[in-house]
Structure 1
Amino acid sequence: MGVQQSKKMTPKNHHHKQKSFASESELKHLHLITSELNNVKDLDIKYNSETIDRIVSQQYLLKHIWKGNFSSPIRDLLESGSVNALEIKCGPGTWILDMATEFSRCSFTGIDLIPIFPSEIRPKNTKFFLANKPEYLPFPPSTFSYIHINFIEHMHNEHSFCQNDIINDIINIMKCDAWLEITTWNLEFENERVGHITQKLISAMKTCFENYTSLSETISSLPSNCDQLKNTNILTNNIPVGKWGGIIGELVMQDLLITFKQHGNKICKKLEITPKQYDSYLEEFVKEIEENQTVFKTCRFYGQKI
């Protein structure tokens, strides 16, 4: 994979030139999985089906880019059946359902602000809770042996779960020696060759998200700002965009174009352009992505409670 690792701390201004992505054959089942989830009738869907499709696809994209659902050294614990895991911001429960099926002797709990997770049709070793207050985690101290969080910046703009003051609350509900793992998909470029229109559109889109912060920066600061974690590590990987990146790149491009469409009015206002000009920008964006083989960054942090 060429994943870059560092013990304790990774410099914020580091660059990675690897272009090692999951094979296309591994990802052909993505569309099938998405279709299967949409056939589940027991979802209290507040989002439309397109949004659900995107969240599910994003989860499996991350899984294949990272060659797995987790990177922290917990496989032996999972296989022993001794893990009580929590996913914060679980969405439709894609990660939990996948993990619960693979590790059927472990327990998996999901919590989110929006109830798009399954309430009845689910494995017996899973639970889901609605978080009425994003700053509050309704669990007793020392409950979980593993906590997992996936953040995708251009998909969600509620960053309350990742503010520094919530980290202490997360650690409080972790058992001694429990693991915390956070994965982000950032609107940050990994390669230096980026087109002018691409830069303008991404910068404008960031302004559409309230209180936008770089989650990679938040992750980078965790080892130095949190004295309650040991054995910390930060990994980085690449997410290709466009046809040049194969199936992954095409899916990411589709996702970005949907996001640009959803925020079109705000972006036009920010850039002071007309909708017709915006359409031209998007056409140029696609061309630039292919010419420059643009890559976004995904980061993964894990650490163990002292």
Structure 2
Amino acid sequence: MGVSPTTPSSSSTIIPCDNRTPSNSHPSLPQDPAVIVDADSLIHSNDTIWINGRKFHTCAGASYILPCDEEEIDRLHLLHFMVRFAIQGNYLAPVTDSLRKGAQVLDIGCGPGSWTMEIAGEYPKSTIVGIDMTNVFPRDIKPTNCHFYQCNALQGLPFEDASFDYVFMRFMSQGIELEQWDPLLKDIIRVLKTGGWVEVVEVDLELHRTGPTTKLYNEHLISLMAERHLDPCSGRRLKERFDNREELTNVNSTFISCPGGHWAGKLGQLTIQSWKSYYQALGPQICIASDMTMDEYNENLETCWDEADEYKTFENVHFAYAQKRSA
């Protein structure tokens, strides 16, 4: 049985994936799930700034330190493939039966929709909704049970209570300030149905077994996150955050170590490519924070990839999932 959409008020606007700019009209919504998007939650095209050839958010309430451009889309696709290869799947929560039968699924911070579309394609009876503050959604080819909306989750999830059977969120820590975690988790639980599952995936940004140049660059990143009130070690704190929510039960957590470099086979090659794209994307922000030129940054960055093979560098990716308990 689907969730009926609520008619938006005259002051609200809904931005589906096939609209690149906000509209004053209210386009029709998919029958599942209910969506209410307030004007305050919208992200407009002029809320960006170019820094050293990369485009970044400048809108209020957005602390995200990574770009929002075509290169970032490619990086996010690569990151998705890396994690999928590492865990040999797209999720760890016990939701397969629910997805096969037909579930309402929310993907928070979906980016270009790699995970969203794969889940929609694999489980055609389910309805998958992806939201992101940046409209980098696929416009031409996507499953009919897959829908995208542009909004800022940190300003409140624009959905009715108990709308979803499964809420998935991955790699959002670089845009969530420390004090925003608890309100966001509370809101996730609000839109989750009783008995539904929430799964959050985050990487610890502290690299392990690093060479001297890699260690320096990693420290620059951690300092940048501290300046932005972001948590570079959010992954290892996921279980604690879940345990602190009395509305959740059956809390599970685990982590995988992703090695980077040719020494570690296919996963190592995927990981090192992900690191290269990631640190290239961070360059403009780190250079501003550390008073370094982009030429200096890029020149020293090449040393890091040699060090990854020499020192056998790796990172840890953490997974936590839990079920919403009955009232």
Fold in common (TM above 0.5):
yes
The amino acid across from 2:211 in the alignment is G
What are the within-5 Å matches in structure 2 for residues 1-306 of structure 1? 44=20, 47-81=68-102, 83-119=103-139, 121-132=141-152, 134-151=154-171, 157-159=174-176, 163-189=181-207, 191=208, 193-209=209-225, 210-213=228-231, 214-264=233-283, 267=286, 278-279=297-298, 281-306=300-325
CA contact (8 A) 2:110 2:116 kept: yes
CA contact (8 A) 2:132 2:153 kept: no
Change (3 A) 1:44 1:256: farther
Gaps of 5+ in 2: 1-16, 22-44, 46-67
Q: Give identity over the alignment, percent.
A: 27
Q: CA deviation at 1:286?
A: 2.0
The amino acid across from 1:252 in the alignment is T
Q: CA deviation at 1:249?
A: 2.3
Secondary structure of the corresponding residue to residue 224 of structure 2: coil
Secondary structure of the corresponding residue to residue 134 of structure 1: helix
Q: 2: CA distance between counterparts of 1:133 and 1:183?
A: 16
In terms of mean alpha carbon deviation, does 130-139 or 198-207 score higher?
130-139
Q: 2: CA distance between counterparts of 1:263 and 1:112?
A: 20
Q: CA deviation at 1:271?
A: 5.4
Q: Deviations over 1:185-214 (max 9, x none)?
A: 23123x4x3222221110102333422202
Change (3 A) 1:281 1:89: same
Secondary structure of the corresponding residue to residue 100 of structure 1: helix
CA contact (8 A) 2:239 2:252 kept: no
Secondary structure of the corresponding residue to residue 263 of structure 2: helix
Secondary structure of the corresponding residue to residue 163 of structure 1: helix
In terms of mean alpha carbon deviation, does 211-220 or 53-62 score higher?
211-220
Q: 2: CA distance between counterparts of 1:44 and 1:242?
A: 38
Gaps of 5+ in 1: 1-40
The amino acid across from 2:199 in the alignment is E
Q: Deviations over 1:200-238 (max 9, x none)?
A: 110102333422202214313223311110111001001
Secondary structure of the corresponding residue to residue 122 of structure 1: coil
Change (3 A) 1:285 1:173: same
Q: Quick one: higher RCO (CA 8 Å, sep 6+), 1 or 2?
A: 1
